[in-house]
Amino acid sequence: MRLETLILAAGKGTRMRSKLPKVLHKVGGKAMLQHVIDAAKQAGSEREVVVIGSGAQLVEQTIAGVEFVLQEEQLGTGHAVLSAKENFAESEGTVLILCGDTPLLTSKLLKNFRAAHENSNCAATVLTAKMPDATGYGRIIREEDGTFKKIVEEKDANELERKIREVNAGAYCFDVRKLFGALEKVKNDNAQGEYYLPDVLTILKDAGEKVGAFTAEYADETLGINSRVQLAAADRIFRMKKNHELMDSGVTIIDPNTTFIDYDVQIGQDTIIYPNTYIEGNTVIGEDCAIGPNIRFTDMKVGNKVTAQFSYCHEAEICDGVTLGPYVHIRPGTTIGENVKIGNFVEIKNSNVGEGSKLPHLQYIGDTDMGSGVNVGCGSVTCNYDGKQKFRTTIGDNAFIGCNTNLVAPVTVEEGAYIAAGSTITKDVPKDNLAVARARQTNISVWNDKRK
Ligand code: UD1
Ligand code: CA
C-alpha cells in the first residue's frame, strides 16, 4: 500500500519561549522537524506534506524536499490536518500523521506501527507509549477488553485519568479516505477551545470503524518536545545513541557523557575520542586518530592517524598523520597536508600547507600557499590584509622562515629560500637565497663608561 505522511509543524511552541519556531530547534545538530521527515522517508513514505504556520517562512527556507501547506490560524491539531485536506484529495491508502516536535521517532518504529495498522484493517491506529512521567500528554483510555476507547488531553482529564501512564505519542495511521470525512465533525468544546485531532478516533469508532492503539516498545522514541528542558533531555538521549552506534562500529569514546557528536558525523575504526569533544555538522574522521581532549570540529574532513587536542577547526581538511594542538584554530578554506605538525597557539586561514611542513608555535598563516617541508619559525606572521584588501603569500618547498618573520603579502618566498629571524619581507625572495630584512646591529663598546 502507498504511504504518504502529513507532519504538523504550525504550532507556536509557546512553552519554548523562543523567537525560533519550535520545530527548528535542534536535537543532535539537526532540526527536530528534519528528524521527523527523515524517519518518515526511511520508513517508506513516498510523499511528505508539512503543515506550517508560526514562523512559516523560516521553516520553508530551512527545510527542503517536502511540500508545505499553510495553516493561517493555529486552532488545534485537528484543524491543522484539515488545512491539508486538498493536498490529499487524490490520495489512497495510508496517511501517517506525525508531529514535528517528536524528533526521536525511528524509522523502525514507524515501519512496525504502519504494519500493525495495515495488518489489522483498522480505519485508524494511534501510536501510544508508556511514559514514566506522562505530564502534558493526552492519556489513552482503553475499554475493559483492552481495545482503544478514547484520548483525553491532560487539561480535560479528571484525577483518575491523569494517573494513566499510557499516552498518545502524537503519531497516527489513517485510511486517508476515512480521515477527512470524520475530521469535519470534530468540535472545539474542550478546556483549550481547540480542534483536537485525537477526537477523530472517537468519531470513527462511534461510526462503527475499527480503531487500534499500537504501543511503542521504547517510550523514549516518542518523546514530545514542548519545553527547553525536554529539548535538552531529547538531545542527551539522541547523542548517547549516536555514541553507542559509533562505539559498536569500532570507535573508542573515553567518556560518552562529555562527547557530543552530531547526527551526520562519520568516524573510522580504532579512532579514540577523548573527553570534552564536540564533533559537528558533516565532519568525517578517518581511522586510528586520537581526537581530544577538548576538540571542536565543525564540518571537517580529517584523514587517518591524525592527533588533535585542545583546538577548534572548522570547514577545512586535515590529511593523514597530522599532529595538531594544543590551542590551534584552523579556519575555513584550509587544507593541511600529510604529516604536518602544528603546535601551540597557531591560527591558519584559507591556506594550503604542504606535506611535512612544520608550524610549531605562535604563527598566523592567512591566504597562503605553502609547499612541503617548510619550517616556519616561532612568531612568524603573514601580513595578508592592508585594511582594504586581502593578498596571498606563496612559500616554496623546503623554505626556512626564521623566527618572528613578517611576510607582507603579496609576496613569494621561493623554494629553498632562507629568511633571517626578525625580517620583514616585502620583496620576493628567489630560490635558495638568504634574505635578511632587518636593521643591522650596532654594538657600542663605551656604553657603560658613558653611563658612569
Ligand atoms: C499533542 C496531543 C497529545 C499528545 C501529544 C504528543 C492533541 C490535541 N494533543 O499534544 O494528545 O499526547 O501531542 O506529543 O493533538 N500544531 C499545528 N497546528 C496547531 C496546533 C499544533 O500544526 O494548530 C502542531 C505543533 O506544531 C506540534 C504538533 O502539532 O508539532 C503538536 O502540537 P502541541 O501543541 O505540541 O500538542 P501537545 O500539547 O504536545
Ligand atoms: Ca507537543
Catalytic residue flag (residue 117): no
Measured in Å, residue 211 CA sits from the centre of ligand 1 at 20
In terms of Cβ atoms closer than 10 Å to its own Cβ (0-12, 13-18, 19+), residue 91 is middle
Q: Are 26 and 97 in contact (CB under 8 A)?
A: no
Measured in Å, residue 243 CA sits from the centre of ligand 2 at 26
pLDDT score for 202:
97
Residue owning grid cell 616585502: 426
Measured in Å, residue 93 CA sits from the centre of ligand 1 at 24
Is residue 21 within 6 Å of ligand 1 at its C-beta? no
Please state, in angstroms and as integers, the Cα–Cα distance from residue 111 to each residue in 148, 188, 217, 228, following that order.
21, 32, 13, 29
SS3 55: strand
Q: Given the CA of residue 10, which atom of ligand 1 is nearest to it?
A: 22
Give nearest CA residue, ligand 1 atom 20. 76
**pLDDT tens digits in sequence order for the chain, 452 residues long:** 899 999 999 998 999 999 999 999 999 999 999 999 999 999 999 999 999 999 999 999 999 999 999 999 999 999 999 999 999 999 999 999 999 999 999 999 999 999 999 999 999 999 999 999 999 999 999 999 999 999 999 999 999 999 999 999 999 999 999 999 999 999 999 999 999 999 999 999 999 999 999 999 999 999 999 999 999 999 999 999 999 999 999 999 999 999 999 999 999 999 999 999 999 999 999 999 999 999 999 999 999 999 999 999 999 999 999 999 999 999 999 999 999 999 999 999 999 999 999 999 999 999 999 999 999 999 999 999 999 999 999 999 999 999 999 999 999 999 999 999 999 999 999 999 999 999 999 998 888 887 77
Residues 219, 221, 222, 227, CA torsion sign: positive
Please state, in angstroms and as integers, the Cα–Cα distance from residue 318 to each residue in 296, 308, 394, following that order.
14, 10, 20
User: Of the ligands numbered here, which is closest to the C-alpha atom of 197?
Assistant: 1
Q: Are 279 and 285 in contact (CB under 8 A)?
A: yes
Is residue 196 within 6 Å of ligand 1 at its C-beta? yes
Q: Which amino acid is at 67?
A: E
**DSSP codes joined into one string, 67-126:** EEEE-SS---HHHHHHTTTGGGTT--SEEEEEETT-TT--HHHHHHHHHHHHHTT-SEEE
Is residue 168 within 6 Å of ligand 1 at its C-beta? yes
Q: Are 214 and 110 in contact (CB under 8 A)?
A: no
Q: H/E element holding 246?
A: helix 228-248
DSSP state of 29: T
SS3 268: coil
Please state, in angstroms and as integers, the Cα–Cα distance from residue 357 to each residue in 173, 310, 323, 330, 375, following that order.
60, 21, 11, 15, 6
Q: Are 398 and 373 in contact (CB under 8 A)?
A: yes
b/e sequence 332-353, b meaning 16+ C-beta within 10 Å? eebbbbbbbbbbeebbbbbbbb
Q: Which amino acid is at 241?
A: K
Structural domains of the chain sorted by starting position, each given as residue range(s) with its CATH number in brackets: 3-222 (3.90.550.10), 237-435 (2.160.10.10)
pLDDT score for 446:
86
Q: Given the CA of residue 79, which atom of ligand 1 is nearest to it?
A: 23
Is residue 79 within 6 Å of ligand 1 at its C-beta? yes
No. of H helices and E strands in the chain? 9, 41
Q: Are 307 and 318 in contact (CB under 8 A)?
A: no
Q: Which three cell numbers stand for residue 402?
A: 626564521
Residue 300 CA to residue 333 CA, distance in Å, equals 10
Q: What is the pTM of this model?
A: 0.94
